[in-house]
């Protein structure tokens, strides 16, 4: 049996299934008892509201792993993640290293990302993955569909490493067909969401959907795009990218976060190191130009890559 | 639950543990100029009674989060001094040893949680360990040690509040040695007693006003008893003073000799005072003190030899265990 469910339901299903499967899994976060009443009812003290204390919330999560639990910490907006950076960067990601592999830090930190076109403003609209990408020991997941979100979150909860799980707010409008039976999606494996011949477009989360829309339009103009959904930024599935570039000889990365030092730059570097000879055109990055996300919707949309931006850049290299 | 009363044997053992801690710290300071240690020496000289007194008689299943000056906690929990010294020499004794400073070493077999070099952050981790203890339905208690400097970090305030609202089995032990590197507590903190901050979170705050191991042990046992009984966290502030230089580096000493002597006299001498008390009660003789000292000297020499002889890690170790 296949059902259509939305992004939020997919997330809740993943949490519910993993909490049933493993009594060590619990979740803390601001207002979560209000936002997840059914989980609260079924799991009681394993769903715990917190005061506004983001730093300690992640620190508490790390400490709970040291005493045998597997926490999920919900951080409402990813603009709050900088408050948690100390525990992510100085503790969580180093636990396994500090203990020489004897002890690990199986924690998931969930946070919403992205601009919505509804004027959420500078501090509720950021895409902060670049802040945390330079901290080996963390895994970073950014799903694009409810199906992927469910399978990836289940994997993240079972993973013995700290995982930052970034959920784009606009994905709450998406639906996926999801099987009744259990499934998981391994971390670190990209998914080719559209097969094509002329150019490889690498994207994630909401930018994946814009890239697919661009690919649709370009198809009508005779340009065949291969669209890769990375799904996991750390560890990065280099192989899928390189194999695709060997086929298409052209690469475009699309990200909502600022261009400089973003993941697009890393992918371009990897391709330069490992597949430069296959490239027939410069690698291009479609990204935020290097600004905060303004509140006014008109300005907000001016700094978020659009479908038209992706089409324009694709035509430059094909 | 029945509280453990301390008898003469306990007092003798606490005396021995404090003395061992003191001599260990002195030895590391002596070794530091040799350049052979691959670590700094954040010693607890003058503060040994806090960690030893607090950790003495804990249950094996209880957990502790040591502070930067936590050597006594490691020693009281039974970690061999040769292990600690070998780590300071940068030697490999097992999978954990080569990568983390001896000051933050996590040792699961001794119930010691791994720390960080970020002062105050471990307060949140200790609180999380206590939350896990509660969710798992154990009778574990977590002891969390930190200094006066850490009590001005946001994590201190966020964590105490969380522990209070969740009624967690954790005892926060602030070793107020009146100085954070060169900054006096009078410059950094407006309240007279850090323990007063407990009131802001609706939990008991206790002040131990002298370097008195019996007072520390008794207060911590009371708090542990409360925590184990489901009555929640306690903040215990131990007034004390750092007798040695920060990080083993004389260039970092900002305090005058007169100040240090003043505070020694004011707060007392944790080891000497207990020794006098035990000798006065007739349960310790000069001869026995000499014997204990001789045994410690011997063990330390043996530990230094062991540390020197132990192997360095292979360089490939640096690349391992970034991910589980």
Q: What digits encode the pLDDT tens for the residues B293-308? A: 999 999 999 999 999 9
Residue corresponding to tokens 């045994």: B295
Q: How far apart are the first and last CA of chain B?
A: 39
Q: Which two tokens stand for residue B171?
A: 């005892």
In a domain, A184, yes or no: no
- Residue ending a domain, among A142, A158, A179, is A179
What per-residue string of b and e applies to A73-95 under the rule 16 or more CB within 10 Å gives b? bbbbbbbbbebbbbbbbbbbbbb
Q: How far does Cα A268 stand from its chain's mean position? A: 19
If asked whether residues A163 and A298 sit together in one domain, one would say no
Decide if B124 and A66 are in contact by the 8 Å CB cutoff: no
Decide if B324 and A104 are in contact by the 8 Å CB cutoff: yes
Decide if B136 and A67 are in contact by the 8 Å CB cutoff: yes
If asked whether residues A155 and A291 sit together in one domain, one would say no
Lowest-confidence segment of A40-44, A216-220, B89-93, B112-116 by average pLDDT: B89-93
In a domain, A240, yes or no: yes
If asked whether residues A133 and A277 sit together in one domain, one would say no
Q: What digits encode the pLDDT tens for the residues A59-118? A: 999 999 999 999 999 999 999 999 999 999 999 999 999 988 999 999 999 999 999 999
Domain boundaries, chain B: 8-250+262-307
Phi/psi for A216 (5° steps) reads -60, -50
For chain A, the domain total comes to 2
Is-contact A159 A138, C-beta < 8 A? no
**Does the beta carbon of A61 lie under 8 angstroms from any beta carbon of chain B?**
yes
Peptide bond before residue A235 is cis, with ω within 30 degrees of 0? yes
- Residue ending a domain, among A179, A207, A233, is A179
If asked whether residues A242 and A156 sit together in one domain, one would say no
- Interface test mutation site (partner B, options A49, A57, A59, max chain B beta carbons within 10 A): A59
Q: What digits encode the pLDDT tens for the residues A191-211? A: 999 999 999 999 999 999 999
**Does the beta carbon of B104 lie under 8 angstroms from any beta carbon of chain A?**
yes
pLDDT above 70 coverage of chain A, percent = 100
Please report which confidence band the pLDDT of residue B96 belongs to, taking 50, 70 and 90 as the band edges.
low
In the three-class reduction of DSSP (H, G, I as helix; E, B as strand; rest coil), residue A257 is classed as: strand
In a domain, A117, yes or no: yes
- Measure the CA dihedral A149/A136/B132/A70, to 10°: 30
* pLDDT for position B3: 59
- CATH number, residue A223: 3.40.50.920
Backbone dihedral region for residue B53 (phi beyond 0: left; psi -120 to 50: alpha; all else: beta): alpha
Residue A152 contacts by C-beta under 8 Å, 6 or more apart in sequence?
A141, A143, A165, A185, A187, A231, A232
User: What is the average pLDDT across A31-37?
Assistant: 97
Inter-CA distances, A40 with A20, A56, A109, B128, Å: 13, 22, 19, 20
Residue numbers of the domain that contains A225: 191-317
Considering only residues B249 and B238, tell me which one the structure prediction assigns the higher pLDDT: B238
Q: Which of A53, A87, A97 sits opposite B99 (nearest CB)?
A: A97
| Distance, CA of B68 to CA of A132 (rounded, Å) | 27
If asked whether residues A30 and A175 sit together in one domain, one would say yes
Q: What digits encode the pLDDT tens for the residues B168-216? A: 999 999 999 998 888 889 989 999 999 999 999 999 999 999 999 999 9
HSE of B124, CA atoms in CB hemisphere, 13 A? 27
Is-contact B50 B56, C-beta < 8 A? no
Mean pLDDT of chain B: 94
| Distance, CA of B58 to CA of A36 (rounded, Å) | 39
Q: Which H or E run includes A177? A: strand A175-179
CA distance A162 to chain B (A): 9
* pLDDT for position B145: 98
CA proximity to B104, closest of B114, B112, B96, B94: B114
Residue A105 contacts by C-beta under 8 Å, 6 or more apart in sequence?
A62, A65, A66, A91, A92, A93, A95, A96, A160, A161, A162
* pLDDT for position B86: 94
- Interface test mutation site (partner A, options B125, B140, B319, max chain A beta carbons within 10 A): B125
What's the helix, strand, coil split of chain B in %, to 5? 55, 10, 35
Decide if B128 and A94 are in contact by the 8 Å CB cutoff: no
Q: Which H or E run includes A26? A: strand A25-29
- Measure the CA dihedral B157/B162/B163/B166, to 10°: 160
In a domain, A68, yes or no: yes
Q: Which two tokens stand for residue A86?
A: 């100390």
If asked whether residues A142 and A92 sit together in one domain, one would say yes
The count of CB pairs under 8 A between chains A and B is 152
B 60-79 near A (Cβ less than 8 A):
63
Catalytic residue flag (residue A124): yes
Decide if A63 and B118 are in contact by the 8 Å CB cutoff: no
Q: What digits encode the pLDDT tens for the residues B117-149? A: 999 999 999 999 999 999 999 999 999 999 999
CA proximity to A91, closest of B109, B113, B167, B176: B113
At the topology level of CATH, where does B8-250+262-307 sit?
Rossmann fold (3.40.50)
**Does the beta carbon of B315 lie under 8 angstroms from any beta carbon of chain A?**
no
If asked whether residues A117 and A44 sit together in one domain, one would say yes
* pLDDT for position B97: 62
Beta strand A191-194 pairing with A225-229: antiparallel
Chain B residues with CB under 8 Å of A63 CB are 113, 124-132
Q: How far apart are the first and last CA of chain A?
A: 42
| Distance, CA of B197 to CA of B234 (rounded, Å) | 11
Lowest-confidence segment of A170-179, A305-314, B247-256 by average pLDDT: B247-256
- Residue ending a domain, among A153, A179, A205, is A179
If asked whether residues A8 and A142 sit together in one domain, one would say yes
Whether the pLDDT of residue B113 is over 70: the answer is yes
Decide if A56 and B155 are in contact by the 8 Å CB cutoff: yes
- Interface test mutation site (partner A, options B103, B158, B230, max chain A beta carbons within 10 A): B158
B 44-63 near A (Cβ less than 8 A):
63
Backbone dihedral region for residue A135 (phi beyond 0: left; psi -120 to 50: alpha; all else: beta): beta
User: What is the average pLDDT across A4-23?
Assistant: 98
The total of other beta-carbon atoms located within 10 Å of residue B286's CB is 9
* pLDDT for position A70: 98
- CATH number, residue A154: 3.40.50.970
Q: Where are the beta strands (DSSP E) in B155-239?
A: 170-176, 179-180, 183-184, 205-208, 234-239
In a domain, A57, yes or no: yes
* pLDDT for position B100: 84
Q: What digits encode the pLDDT tens for the residues A226-281? A: 999 999 999 999 999 999 999 999 999 999 999 999 999 999 999 999 999 999 99
If asked whether residues A206 and A239 sit together in one domain, one would say yes
**Does the beta carbon of A73 lie under 8 angstroms from any beta carbon of chain B?**
no
Q: What digits encode the pLDDT tens for the residues A126-165? A: 999 999 999 999 999 999 999 999 999 999 999 999 999 9
CA distance A228 to chain B (A): 25
If asked whether residues A131 and A208 sit together in one domain, one would say no
| Distance, CA of A57 to CA of B127 (rounded, Å) | 10
In a domain, A185, yes or no: no
Mean pLDDT of chain A: 97
A 133-152 near B (Cβ less than 8 A):
136-137, 139
**Does the beta carbon of A232 lie under 8 angstroms from any beta carbon of chain B?**
no
Q: Which two tokens stand for residue B282?
A: 């007739």
If asked whether residues A169 and A203 sit together in one domain, one would say no
Beta strand A163-168 pairing with B142-147: unpaired
Decide if A90 and B97 are in contact by the 8 Å CB cutoff: no
Whether the pLDDT of residue B158 is over 80: the answer is yes
If asked whether residues A78 and A201 sit together in one domain, one would say no
**Does the beta carbon of A90 lie under 8 angstroms from any beta carbon of chain B?**
yes
């Amino acid at each position: 049996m296949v059902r259509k469910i939305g992004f939020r339901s997919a997330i809740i299903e993943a949490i519910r299934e993993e909490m049933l499967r493993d009594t060590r899994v619990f979740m803390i976060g601001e207002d979560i008892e209000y936002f997840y009443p059914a989980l609260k009812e079924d799991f009681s003290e394993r769903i715990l509201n917190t005061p506004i204390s983001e730093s300690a919330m992640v620190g508490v999560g790390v400490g709970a792993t040291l005493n045998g639990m597997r926490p999920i910490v919900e951080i409402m907006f990813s603009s709050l993640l900088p408050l948690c950076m100390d525990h992510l960067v100085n503790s969580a990601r180093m636990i396994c290293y500090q203990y020489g592999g004897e002890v690990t830090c199986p924690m998931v930190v969930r946070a919403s990302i992205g601009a919505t076109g509804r004027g959420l403003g500078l501090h509720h609209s950021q895409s902060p993955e670049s802040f945390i990408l330079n901290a080996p020991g963390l895994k970073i997941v950014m799903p694009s569909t409810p199906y992927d979100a469910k399978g990836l979150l289940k994997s993240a909860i079972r993973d013995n490493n700290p995982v930052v799980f970034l959920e784009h707010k606009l994905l709450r409008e998406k639906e996926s067909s999801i099987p009744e039976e259990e499934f998981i999606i391994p971390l670190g494996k990209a998914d080719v969401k559209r097969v094509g011949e002329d150019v490889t477009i690498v994207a994630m989360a909401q930018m994946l959907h814009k890239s697919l829309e661009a690919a649709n339009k370009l198809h009508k103009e005779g340009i065949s795009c291969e669209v890769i959904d990375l799904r996991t930024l750390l560890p990065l599935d280099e192989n899928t990218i390189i194999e695709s570039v060997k086929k298409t000889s052209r690469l475009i990365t699309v990200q909502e976060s600022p261009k400089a030092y973003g993941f697009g730059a890393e992918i371009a570097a990897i391709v330069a190191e490992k597949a430069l000879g296959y490239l027939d055109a410069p690698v291009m990055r479609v990204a935020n130009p290097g600004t905060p996300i303004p509140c006014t919707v008109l300005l907000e949309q001016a700094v978020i890559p659009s479908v038209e931006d992706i089409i324009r850049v694709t035509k430059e290299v094909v | 639950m029945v509280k453990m009363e301390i008898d003469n044997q306990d007092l003798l053992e606490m005396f021995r543990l404090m003395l061992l801690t003191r001599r260990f710290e002195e030895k590391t300071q002596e070794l530091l100029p040799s350049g052979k240690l691959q670590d700094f020496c954040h010693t607890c000289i003058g503060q040994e009674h806090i960690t030893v007194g607090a950790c003495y008689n804990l249950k094996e299943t209880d957990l502790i989060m040591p502070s930067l000056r936590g050597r006594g906690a490691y020693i009281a929990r039974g970690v061999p001094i040769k292990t600690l010294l070998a780590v300071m020499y940068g030697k490999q004794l097992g999978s954990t040893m080569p990568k983390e400073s001896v000051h933050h070493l996590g040792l699961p077999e001794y119930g010691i949680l791994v720390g960080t070099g970020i002062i105050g952050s471990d307060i949140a981790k200790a609180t999380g360990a206590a939350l896990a203890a509660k969710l798992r339905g154990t009778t574990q208690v977590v002891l969390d040690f930190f200094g006066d400097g850490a009590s001005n970090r946001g994590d201190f305030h966020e964590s105490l509040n969380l522990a209070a609202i969740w009624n967690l089995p954790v005892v926060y032990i602030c070793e107020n040695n009146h100085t954070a590197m060169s900054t006096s507590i009078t410059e950094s903190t407006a309240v007279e007693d850090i323990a007063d901050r407990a009131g802001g979170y609706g939990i008991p705050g206790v002040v131990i006003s002298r370097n008195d191991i019996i007072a520390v042990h008794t207060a911590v046992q009371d708090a542990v008893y409360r925590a184990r009984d489901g009555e929640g966290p306690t903040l215990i502030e131990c007034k004390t003073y750092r007798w040695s230089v920060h990080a083993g580096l004389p260039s970092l000493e900002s305090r005058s000799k007169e100040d240090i002597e003043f505070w020694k006299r004011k707060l007392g001498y944790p080891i000497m005072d207990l020794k006098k008390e035990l000798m006065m009660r007739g349960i310790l003789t000069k001869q026995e003190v000499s014997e204990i000292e001789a045994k410690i000297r011997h063990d330390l020499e043996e530990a230094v030899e062991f540390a020197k002889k132990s192997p360095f890690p292979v360089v490939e170790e640096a690349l391992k265990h970034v991910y589980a």
